[in-house]
Structure 1
């Protein structure tokens, strides 16, 4: 609050040359309460803000921006624009952010020096369970405590309570038969208590949901929010429409050349695995002889594959054979960017892809794409070994876990560099 007040005084002095300027003070008195409410709502003063400097600065910037927008809206509806200085507010926001950021940086360094990695006090109680890895913990073993009398002996409860008192977080690692016992103790102690569970670890649970007196372990969520899905779909439609318009001459010429070469069908339609592990029909320009088509994809294309036609070799080399998948994008079966869909019978070292790695099916939590992170990293062509598949899978899962619209744009731009690739055959 002091930093914001100083920022408005400084902005008024620089802009009007009056120290302190009454108008600047009045703007500060109006702005600071709004900021205070927004800052608390934005968790600018949370424990995480003390622990994570980047998070702290991000929340601070968001709170200042939202407060400024709210103040401008209030000024607009109050019809007080004539008495409002946009230059002074802008200067005050810049000065205020700079001063608060420097204060937080100094505080962060001080806290690291005094408290170490984390300001959160964590107590780990080992009672026959597995070891616990957590930042800045105090670890005790129940062998030094009278735990068994906790339900009936006040002195035992007092001993446990004195150990727990003052802790922000208490983690108990115990055997399965003692979890309910420890849960009662932690609830009575009035602290944030956690009991480790190997079952939850095995399931990969990410949160707990309570509804109508029942508890449910949340083991998965959609990788994208509704807003993100809308953004991604809008991006797909815009890019796909533009690509179809620009590339339609190339597609028409390609279709004519394929038809003229052997008179067979222009398109090759193959079942592939799509979003949610649902099969869809993926379109490609036919690049192989009719008698050599492999709808299951069990045989990977080799560099000197005799099944590939003359025009097929060219369109595979230049990735033109993939262009009909733009229609899959329009049909909402594929996306411009995403994990590439694999043929159902594809093999790596005589193993089906999903037999190589248990995480394989997770790549289908997003729609498959025309291009993807694995492709721009050079993972193209036949998947000849298990290590090749795992490299692609890791890239796909990295993309899914860190999706952003900016990432999609970068991948689309980077795809131009790998359109011609030595493994495209």
Structure 2
């Protein structure tokens, strides 16, 4: 079980690639799979949803000038819509439509999300490069949070048919769909730990799923708070998006 003391320390603080190797033989047990949620867990989920609604509402109001400015810059920088939408995996394997600021040229964008973005990708616009580097392109997902499709914190929202090292995630990583037991998040444990960018190697992909499954197995509002604070610190130090 990933929730044991030794493994939890390794997954949360340790080197991601060694954790990925350990994951290959790990037994995954989640409080959300096959077990009736306790009253305590139900209250944690209720509080999480309250934080999501409150946090997303406050952020949308507070960031309204930023959102409007970014929308204008995207429109002036290249032809096409301000927002980009894509169908991705939601909670319990439900398909949801996720919104982002458009960061690629409209005629070159991949609506499926199968073709991952790489460094110096020619599809990315000038403004888009800045938005991706700072992760500002993710801000419209606050709308998804209010709709109940996403959470502020959770496993990364993957595109349908997303590849890792040239293979489907579900083929590469055992128990992959266990990560869909919770709402996908704008940020998550993997992102807080700097596991971003293209998954061109299988160990990178496994490292991210290790973090996702650890989160599902050990969810608490306190863990969410630590991830949100850690994400802010990580962004202040310079995000790794491109």
Query: Would you say same fold, with TM above 0.5?
Result: yes
Please state if 1:400 is matched with 2:210.
Answer: no
Q: Is the 8 A contact 1:222 1:365 kept in 2?
A: no
CA shift, 1:418, in A, is 2.5
Partner of 1:282: 98
Residue matched to 2:48: 232
SS at match of 2:107: helix
Question: Which residue pairs with 1:265 in the alignment?
Answer: 81
Question: How do 1:193-342 residues align onto structure 2 when only pairs under 5 Å count?
Answer: 220-221=34-35, 225-342=41-158
* 1-structure distance, mates of 2:239, 2:102: 20
For residues 206-248 of structure 1, give each alpha carbon's deviation from its aligned partner in whole angstroms, at most 9, with x where no partner exists: 9xxxxxxxxxxxx713667321221110111111111111111
Aligned partner of residue 99 in structure 2, secondary structure? strand
Whether contact under 8 Å (1:264, 1:290) holds in the other structure is: yes
Distance 2:88 2:70 in 1: 23
TM-score by length of 2: 0.82
Judged with a 3 Å threshold, the aligned counterparts in structure 2 of structure 1 residues 222 and 288 are, in CA distance, closer, same or farther, namely farther
| Partner of residue 354, structure 1 | 170
Structure showing greater Rg: 1
Match of 1:87 in 2: none
Over 3 Å counting, the alpha-carbon distance change for 1:222 and 1:321 in structure 2 is farther
Residue 416 of structure 1: CA displacement? 1.2
The TM-score with structure 1 as length reference comes to 0.48
Shift of 1:205: 9.5
**Structure 1 CA distance for aligned equivalents of residues 151 and 179 of structure 2:** 14
Structure number having the greater helix percentage: 1
Residues 264-295 of structure 1, C-alpha deviations (whole Å, 9 max, x = no match): 10000000001000000000000000111111
Greater length-normalized contact order (CA 8 Å, ≥ 6 residues apart): 2
The 5 Å alignment of 1:46-57 reads: none
Counterpart Cα distance in 1 of 2:197 and 2:225? 23
Change (3 A) 1:416 1:422: closer
User: Given that residues 156 and 187 in structure 2 are in contact (C-alpha distance below 8 angstroms), is that contact kept between their aligned partners in structure 1?
Assistant: yes
Q: Does 1:366 align with 2:185?
A: no
Q: Structure 1 residues 205 and 358, CA, compared in 2 at 3 Å: closer, same or farther?
A: closer
Task: Give 3-state SS (helix, strand or coil) of 1:269's partner.
Answer: strand
Tell me by how many angstroms 1:301 deviates: 0.7
| Structure 1 position 252, deviation (Å) | 0.6
Distance in 2 (alpha carbons) for counterparts of 1:384 and 1:305: 15
State the SS of the aligned residue for 1:290. Answer: coil
Rounded to whole Å, the distance in 1 between the matches of 2:29 and 2:189 is 27
Task: State the match for 1:179 in structure 2.
Answer: none
| 2:134–2:239 Cα contact (<8 Å) kept | no
Match of 1:412 among 215, 221, 228: 228
Give the 3 Å change call, closer, same or farther, for CA 348–238 of structure 1 in structure 2.
same
Distance between the aligned counterparts of 2:37 and 2:216, measured in 1? 7
Task: Name the count of aligned residue pairs.
Answer: 211
Alignment CA distance shift 1:243-1:422 (3 Å): closer
1:424 aligns with 2:241: yes
- Structure 1 gaps of 5+ residues are 1-203, 207-218
8 Å CA contact 2:153–2:184 kept in 1: the answer is yes
Alignment of 1:161-180 (within 5 A): none
Which stretches in structure 2 are left out of the alignment for 5+ residues?
1-27
Secondary structure of the equivalent of 1:299? Answer: coil
Compute the displacement of 1:380 (Å): 1.1
